[in-house]
């Protein structure tokens, strides 16, 4: 295919901030994105990820900081002058235009020659596998097909950067899985950088080369999916990356290993960050806790939900600590189960949560 993202070396966000009155929606975000990278901005609602994307697109002005594409400062440019492609959550297709006309819209605004527009639209349709649907109106397509049209419209202008704002949130579970694979495939075909906003950690893990975890307008951690999944650097990141079990403990450290005690239960864990002995938080994934006859933790099961090939269980210790864990078989409400976890999977962070 001839469509390819415009060549560049890197996009740099330098102290990017955005205020809404007295509210600091973005606080000094600094990040470098290389050509060909797929970056996911991950965080809960209100963390600033969509604000960051809109600042990149030029839909919001910066309160301070700057944005650079190689040696060109672009935060002072109008949205259309930046040349980025954008895929919105609600697709934003023109309902009265055919698929072909929707895709051609950006090229026509650039006053490209008609023959070039037709050729580029054909190429974009082929990339998103909709070559037979060009004559239809958006309303005649499925949700997944409409999303492909939105992607085709974004990439047909051959942008250096494609911005995606939770593009799969309106699709059902099956289509979301299919479109994840399609989005990654299309990203690799055109070779531009992609910045993708999501609140879904599974989506971020499966798509991104690097994940930027945000909270309250700040970047908490940047790393590969493997880094963030296995070793989140902060307890706030751990919580968002699926470490649902977080126990307040008293910790004693010996090298990288930690002895963590809570309510008469002692766990062996792994220190993630420097800390002095005392109050700490032990974070454990539900997947990493398993039933063991001699396990150090005893819980009374309060619920057990069937998830196909496993049961997702919730229990409580005698001291009231809540724990989520998986089981290969159904466990009845009120049953007592002993649990254990590999010390390498029990991550211990300094301090205590507010």
What order do you get walking across the sheet with 311-316 strand by strand? 289-291, 336-341, 297-306, 311-316, 322-327
What order do you get walking across the sheet with 161-165 strand by strand? 85-87, 161-165, 193-198, 38-42, 210-215, 218-223
**Model's pTM, two decimal places?**
0.89
Q: How far apart are CA 212 and CA 324, in angstroms?
A: 26
pLDDT given for residue 340 in this prediction: 92
pLDDT given for residue 354 in this prediction: 47
Task: Show the low-confidence residues of the chain (pLDDT under 50).
Answer: 1, 354
- Residue 11 has, within 13 A of its CA and on its CB side, a CA count of 26
Q: How far apart are CA 3 and CA 342, in angstroms?
A: 49
pLDDT tens digits, one per residue of 114-148: 999 999 999 999 999 999 999 999 999 988 899 99
Closest CA to 87 of 223, 228, 190: 190
The DSSP string of 131-176 is TT-TTS-GGGS-HHHHHHHHHHHHHTT--SEEEEESTTTTS-HHHH
Cα–Cα distance list, 148 to 136, 202, 309, 316 (Å): 13, 21, 32, 46
Q: How far apart are CA 183 and CA 163, in angstroms?
A: 12
Q: Any bridge partners for residue 31, and if so which?
A: 13
User: Cβ neighbours of residue 148 under 8 Å, at least 6 residues apart?
Assistant: 128, 129, 130, 179, 182
For residue 301, what is the enclosing H or E element?
Answer: strand 297-306
**Cα four-point dihedral sign 52, 84, 225, 128:** positive
pLDDT given for residue 5 in this prediction: 67
User: Cβ neighbours of residue 163 under 8 Å, at least 6 residues apart?
Assistant: 53, 56, 57, 84, 85, 86, 87, 154, 194, 195
At 283, list the tokens.
Answer: 């974070």
Cα–Cα distance list, 150 to 13, 181, 346, 353 (Å): 26, 16, 43, 42
177 phi/psi in degrees, rounded to 5: -65, -45
pLDDT tens digits, one per residue of 245-287: 999 999 998 777 899 888 778 889 998 887 778 899 999 999 9
Cα–Cα distance list, 347 to 96, 245, 248, 261, 343 (Å): 54, 11, 12, 13, 8
At 116, list the tokens.
Answer: 């070039």
pLDDT given for residue 100 in this prediction: 96
Q: How many helices (H) and strands (E) does the chain have?
A: 9, 20
């Amino acid at each position: 295919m001839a469509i390819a993202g415009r060549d560049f070396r890197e996009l740099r966000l330098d102290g990017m901030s955005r205020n809404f009155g007295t509210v600091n929606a973005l606080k000094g975000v600094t990040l470098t994105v290389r050509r060909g990278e797929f970056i996911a901005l991950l965080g809960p609602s209100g963390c600033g990820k969509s604000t960051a994307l809109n600042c990149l697109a030029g839909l919001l002005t910066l309160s301070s900081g700057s944005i650079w594409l190689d040696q060109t400062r672009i935060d002072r440019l109008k949205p259309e002058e930046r040349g980025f492609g954008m895929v919105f959550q609600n697709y934003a297709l023109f309902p009265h235009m055919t698929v072909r006309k929707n895709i051609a819209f950006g090229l026509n605004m650039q006053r490209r020659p008609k023959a070039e527009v037709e050729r580029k639209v054909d190429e974009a349709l082929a990339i998103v596998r909709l070559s037979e649907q060009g004559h239809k109106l958006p309303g005649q397509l499925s949700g997944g097909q409409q999303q492909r049209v939105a992607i085709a419209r974004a990439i047909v202008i051959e942008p250096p950067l494609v911005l995606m704002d939770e593009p799969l949130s309106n699709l059902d579970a099956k289509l979301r899985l299919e479109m994840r694979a399609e989005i990654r495939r299309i990203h690799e075909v055109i070779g531009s950088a992609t910045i993708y906003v999501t609140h879904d950690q599974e989506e971020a893990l499966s798509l991104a080369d690097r994940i930027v975890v945000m909270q309250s307008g700040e970047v908490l951690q940047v790393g590969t999916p493997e880094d963030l999944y296995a070793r989140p650097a902060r307890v706030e990141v751990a919580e968002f990356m699926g470490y649902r079990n977080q126990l307040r403990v008293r910790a004693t450290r010996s090298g990288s290993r930690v002895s963590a005690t809570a309510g008469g239960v002692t766990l062996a864990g792994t220190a993630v960050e420097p800390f002095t002995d005392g109050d700490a938080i032990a974070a454990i994934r539900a997947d990493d806790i398993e039933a063991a006859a001699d396990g150090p933790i005893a819980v009374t099961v309060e619920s057990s939900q069937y998830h196909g090939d496993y049961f997702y269980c919730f229990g409580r210790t005698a001291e009231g600590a809540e724990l989520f864990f998986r089981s290969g078989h159904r466990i009845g409400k009120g049953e007592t189960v002993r649990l254990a976890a590999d010390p390498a999977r029990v991550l211990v962070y300094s301090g205590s949560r507010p």
